[in-house]
Structure 1
Amino acid sequence: MTVEKVDTLIVGGGQAGLAASEHLSNNKVPHLLVERSRIAERWRSERWDSLVANGPAWHDRFPTMEFADLDPDSFAPRDRIVGYFEAFAEQIAAPIRCGVEVTSLTRLEDGSGFRAETSQGVIEAKNVIAATGPFQKPIIPVLVPAETAILQIHSAAYRNPDQLPDGAVMVIGAGSSGTQIADELARAGRKVYLSVGPHNRPPRAYRGRDFVWWLGALGHWDVKTYDPALEHVTIAVSGARGGHTVDFRKLAAGGITLVGRAETYENGVMRFAPDLAKNIAAGDADYLSVLDAADAYAVREGLDFPEEPEARIIGPAPECAINPVLELDFAKAGITSIIWATGYALDFSWLKVGDFDAKGRPFHKDGVSPVPGLYFVGLSWLSRRASAFIWGAWGDAKNVAEHIAARSR
Structure 2
Amino acid sequence: MAADITQTDTLVVGAGQAGVAMSEHLSHLGVPHVVLERDRIAERWRTGRWDSLVANGPAWHDRFPGMSFDDVDPDGFPTKDQVADYFETYAARFDAPIRTGVEVHEVVRNTTRPGFSIDTSAGSFEAARVVAATGPFQRPAIPSIAPDRRSIHQIHSSEYRNPGQLPEGGVLVVGAGSSGVQIADELLRSGRPVFLSVGPHDRPPRSYRNRDFVWWLGVLGKWDAEAAQPGAEHVTIAVSGAHGGQTVDFRALAHRGMTLVGRTGTFDNGVVTFEPDLAANLARGDDNYHSLLDEADAYVRRNNLDLPEEPEARRTLADPHCVTRPILSLDLVEAGVTSIVWATGFSTDYSWLGVNAFDEAGQPRHQRGVSSEPGVYFLGLPWLSRRGSSFIWGVWHDAKHIADHIATQRKYLAYHHDAQRAGIEQHPTGQDRSTPVGDPAQTAFRMRTN
Q: What is the TM-score when the length of structure 2 is the normalising length?
A: 0.89
Which residue among 95, 103, 106 is the counterpart of 2:105?
103
Deviation at 1:388, TM superposition (A): 2.1
Which residue among 366, 369, 386 is the counterpart of 1:367?
369
Alignment of 1:79-94 (within 5 A): 79-94=81-96
Contact 1:354 1:363 in 2 (8 A): no
Alignment of 1:329-344 (within 5 A): 329-344=331-346
2:64 paired with 1:62: yes
Alignment of 1:339-358 (within 5 A): 339-358=341-360
Contact 1:104 1:351 in 2 (8 A): yes
Contact 2:252 2:317 in 1 (8 A): no
Q: 1:306-331 CA deviation, whole Å, 9 max, x = no partner?
A: 11111111121111000111100001
Question: Which residue number corresponds to residue 389 of structure 2?
Answer: 387
2:33 paired with 1:18: no
Which residue among 156, 160, 170 is the counterpart of 1:154?
156
The count of residues paired between Structure 1 and Structure 2 equals 409
3-state DSSP class of the match of 2:370? Answer: coil
CA distance in 1, matches of 2:48, 2:210: 33
3-state DSSP class of the match of 1:65? Answer: coil
3-state DSSP class of the match of 1:297? Answer: helix
Q: What is the TM-score when the length of structure 1 is the normalising length?
A: 0.98
CA gap of 1:345–1:19, structure 2 versus 1, over 3 A, is same
Which residue among 292, 295, 312 is the counterpart of 2:294?
292
Letter in 1 for 2:174: I
Q: Which has the higher contact order (CA 8 A, sep 6+)?
A: 1
Contact 2:110 2:116 in 1 (8 A): yes
CA distance in 1, matches of 2:70, 2:360: 43
Letter in 2 for 1:61: R
Question: Which residue number corresponds to residue 37 of structure 2?
Answer: 35
- For structure 2, the 5+ residue unaligned runs are 412-450
CA distance in 1, matches of 2:47, 2:32: 30
Structure 1 segments, 4+ long, off by >4 Å, are none
CA distance in 2, matches of 1:84, 1:280: 36
Question: Which residue number corresponds to residue 167 of structure 1?
Answer: 169
CA distance in 1, matches of 2:139, 2:330: 29
CA distance in 1, matches of 2:230, 2:105: 31
Q: 1:277-306 CA deviation, whole Å, 9 max, x = no partner?
A: 111111111100000011111111221211
CA distance in 2, matches of 1:295, 1:13: 41
CA distance in 1, matches of 2:284, 2:371: 37
CA distance in 2, matches of 1:395, 1:346: 21
Letter in 2 for 1:224: E
2:9 paired with 1:7: yes
Deviation at 1:408, TM superposition (A): 1.0
Question: Which residue number corresponds to residue 125 of structure 2?
Answer: 123
Letter in 2 for 1:168: G
3-state DSSP class of the match of 1:339? Answer: strand
Which residue among 129, 135, 138 is the counterpart of 1:136?
138
CA gap of 1:358–1:332, structure 2 versus 1, over 3 A, is farther
CA distance in 2, matches of 1:187, 1:31: 47
Question: Which residue number corresponds to residue 316 of structure 2?
Answer: 314
Letter in 1 for 2:323: A
CA distance in 1, matches of 2:374, 2:280: 47
CA distance in 2, matches of 1:31, 1:405: 12
3-state DSSP class of the match of 1:264? Answer: strand
Aligned sequence identity (%): 61
Deviation at 1:355, TM superposition (A): 2.5
Question: Which residue number corresponds to residue 423 of structure 2?
Answer: none
RMSD: 1.0
Letter in 2 for 1:217: V
Contact 1:354 1:369 in 2 (8 A): no
- For structure 1, the 5+ residue unaligned runs are none
CA distance in 1, matches of 2:115, 2:22: 19
Rg (Cα) greater in structure: 2
